[in-house]
Amino acid sequence: DTGVSQNPRHKITKRGQNVTFRCDPISEHNRLYWYRQTLGQGPEFLTYFQNEAQLEKSRLLSDRFSAERPKGSFSTLEIQRTEQGDSAMYLCASSLARRGNDNEQFFGPGTRLTVL
Amino acid sequence: KNQVEQSPQSLIILEGKNCTLQCNYTVSPFSNLRWYKQDTGRGPVSLTIMTFSENTKSNGRYTATLDADTKQSSLHITASQLSDSASYICVVGLSGGSYIPTFGRGTSLIVHP
């Protein structure tokens, strides 16, 4: 399977714990995006990387959230001191930025986080 | 403020019937508009993409239209199937160097047998 993969698919944690999610993009894609989606809503942008550089972060990304893409391949999203309001689906997408390319984003299956 | 509004919020139809979903946007400067299908518990999958100069695009039983003057798009589904039950999300991309598209909230479609 050469699509975007995310792990774990589901995570249940207690309030106050830290969690980390992983995203493996399509191998040749240089851009990687993180989104958060709650029930009945569209995805909300959190942050994106071009190669290993984090180029933009949403105001939604509080100090408890941190994302890395150390080698320009896979990425991790960590949430510290989780709160019940963090419960959501966390989606990762990747795209290939190239002249004349429409920058289509390919999404992974998401990680469903439940904070008890 | 860049916004994408979709209607209806939800829709229930019988298998075999046609339906049309609407998307209005205020995103500027406009680059492209995509319709995504998102099955429950899955990530979105692209159905169609249209740029400023295109006013219709088909993908099987899905046909998208774009009126860049009125900033409206529609997604028409012909001869619906049970597998069409999903959320359909309209996404508008910006030109000028921003790579963060604006997402609508989606229309939840349920197809009943």
The predicted-structure confidence for A26-85, as pLDDT tens digits, reads as follows 998 999 999 999 988 999 999 999 999 998 888 878 899 999 999 889 999 999 999 999
Residue type, A116: L
Closest-CA distance, A62 to chain B, in angstroms, reads: 18
Per-residue pLDDT at A100: 61
Structure tokens at A59: 């105001």
Q: What is the pLDDT of residues A3-20, one digit of tens each?
A: 999 999 999 999 999 999
Number of Cβ within 10 Å of residue B94's Cβ equals 17
Helix/strand/coil for B29: coil
Counting Cα atoms < 13 Å in the Cβ hemisphere of B64 gives 24
Burial B3-37 (b: 16+ CB within 10 A, else e): ebebeeeebebeeeeebebebbbebeebbbbbbbb
CA atoms of B80 and B63, how far apart (whole Å): 12
- Which of A96-100, B36-40, B58-62, B106-110 bottoms out in mean pLDDT, i.e. has the lowest? A96-100
- CB-CB under 8 Å, A103 with B104: no
Cβ of A109 under 8 Å from any chain B Cβ?
Answer: yes
CB-nearest to A91 from B43, B100, B101 is: B43
- CB-CB under 8 Å, A108 with B43: yes
